[in-house]
């Protein structure tokens, strides 16, 4: 993914979370000027450290941004997910499935 595309992706995630650049700066510790340059394609794809800060502020799994940035491959993401969730009980899995279904329904209403 090119820097311009990645910047637009970060911007879309930020806007989806209804955050300003200043709010993302506050929650991530990454300067607003850097974030602005990143979103406008004027900065290369950030380091893993910066991606972790941004993903935490956006309340997203860091693996998502790491994959988009090209630091990990898609199959590595599957492996990470499998390792991360292998200890879940059946009750926890059912609860997460219910929450995911609710999330998808709510997201569908927003997009309508």
Q: In sequence order, what DSSP letters do the residues of 27-40 get, joined into one string?
A: HH---HHHHHHHHT
Question: For residues 14 and 21, is the Cβ–Cβ distance under 8 A?
Answer: yes
Task: For CA atoms 23, 26, 29, 32, give the dihedral sign.
Answer: positive
Tracing tokens 């989806």 back to the chain, one arrives at: 16
Task: Determine how many CB atoms are found less than 10 A away from the CB of residue 26.
Answer: 13
Per domain, the residue ranges of the chain are 1-72, 74-112
Q: What digits encode the pLDDT tens for the residues 56-69?
A: 999 988 888 988 89
**Assigned token pair, 15:** 């806007």
Q: What digits encode the pLDDT tens for the residues 88-98?
A: 677 777 777 78
Q: What digits encode the pLDDT tens for the residues 34-85?
A: 999 999 999 999 999 999 999 999 998 888 898 889 888 766 555 555 556 6
What's the CATH code, domain 1-72? 1.10.260.40
CA-to-CA dists, residue 87 to 3, 45, 61, 63, angstroms:
37, 33, 18, 19
With DSSP H G I counted as helix, E B as strand and the rest as coil, what are the percentages for the chain, rounded to 5? 75, 0, 25
pLDDT at 105 over 70: yes
């Amino acid at each position: 993914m090119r820097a311009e595309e990645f910047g637009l992706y970060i911007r879309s995630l930020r806007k989806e979370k209804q955050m300003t650049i200043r709010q993302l700066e506050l929650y991530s510790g990454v300067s607003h000027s850097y974030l602005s340059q990143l979103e406008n394609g004027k900065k290369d794809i950030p380091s893993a450290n910066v991606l972790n800060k941004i993903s935490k502020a956006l309340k997203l799994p860091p693996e998502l941004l790491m994959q988009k940035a090209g630091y990990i491959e898609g199959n590595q993401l599957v492996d990470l997910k499998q390792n991360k969730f292998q200890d879940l009980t059946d009750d926890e899995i059912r609860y997460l499935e219910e929450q995911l279904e609710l999330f998808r329904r709510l997201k569908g209403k927003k997009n309508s």
